[in-house]
Amino acid sequence: MHHSVHAEQFLMANANAHGEPGIRCVAVSSVPCGHCRQFLQEIRGAAEIQILVTSDEDPAFRPLASLLPNPFGPPDLLHKDAPLLLEPHDNELGALEATGVAVGGGGSCNGIRGGGLERRLREAAEGAARSSHAPYSGCAAGFAVADGGGRVYPGSYVESAAYNPSLGPAQAAMVACLAAGGGREGGGWGIVAAALVEKETAAVSHEGTARIFLEAVAPGAHLKVYRFRPSAAV
């Protein structure tokens, strides 16, 4: 259950991955749960996002504020000029360690040697980490998965002010994979290799969660973890 991705989270992760500057309207089959009402608060002007519930007897747009009248969110914890979700982020990671840590699967990204797949996975995960929305913990992280065709799908960690509704980078990468029509080749969901980028000194590590996730959906996948050290420590 912890790894579940709600429809609204899928929408926001996909919008974030494609550089959308905001969300004005959302049409859903059922009223957003409390988890998603909270997650939507990470967008600037969230109160004015219009929600349409298609299963209503008389569907009509209504502002998110009507579903969450007393919100807790970024304004309670961040400076008013801090970048929010769907706004440009450039997180400082520091310098990459000399080597990554390989976990599970075979070498050479499970036999896919062409096209520098391991390098592309690392670069994609690093880019996702730099653009991740993690203003509360400061634990920027990115994940990338590759399918049997060598296609790479990155995902950024997205934090919620309430912490629990946060979307992990592994889940965000799977959103990118599914949204792009991936996951059709190979065993499991078609994922054969993955890379995680996070800070060495991070209070929150996503490695354990990534291992559990991959064991469930792609047990043969080759995972490599890259940790960045603060520049002053290198």
Active site residue 118: no
6 is in an annotated binding site: yes
Identity of the residue numbered 145: V
Task: Give the whole-angstrom CA distance, residue 140 versus residue 138.
Answer: 6
Identity of the residue numbered 80: K
H-only helix segments in the chain:
7-17, 34-39, 74-77, 107-110, 117-130, 169-179, 207-217
Task: Give the whole-angstrom CA distance, residue 62 versus residue 65.
Answer: 8
Beta strands in the chain (DSSP E): 25-28, 50-53, 62-63, 95-96, 101-103, 141-147, 152-156, 191-199, 222-229
89 is in an annotated binding site: no
User: Which CA distances in Å does 178 have to 72, 100, 108, 123?
Assistant: 31, 27, 24, 20
Burial of 53 (0-12, 13-18, 19+ CB in 10 A): middle
Q: Which of 8, 118, 159, 198 is catalytic?
A: 8
Residue numbers in the known binding site for Zn(2+) are 6, 33, 36
Task: Pick out the residues of the known binding site.
Answer: 6, 33, 36
User: What are the residue numbers of the active site?
Assistant: 8
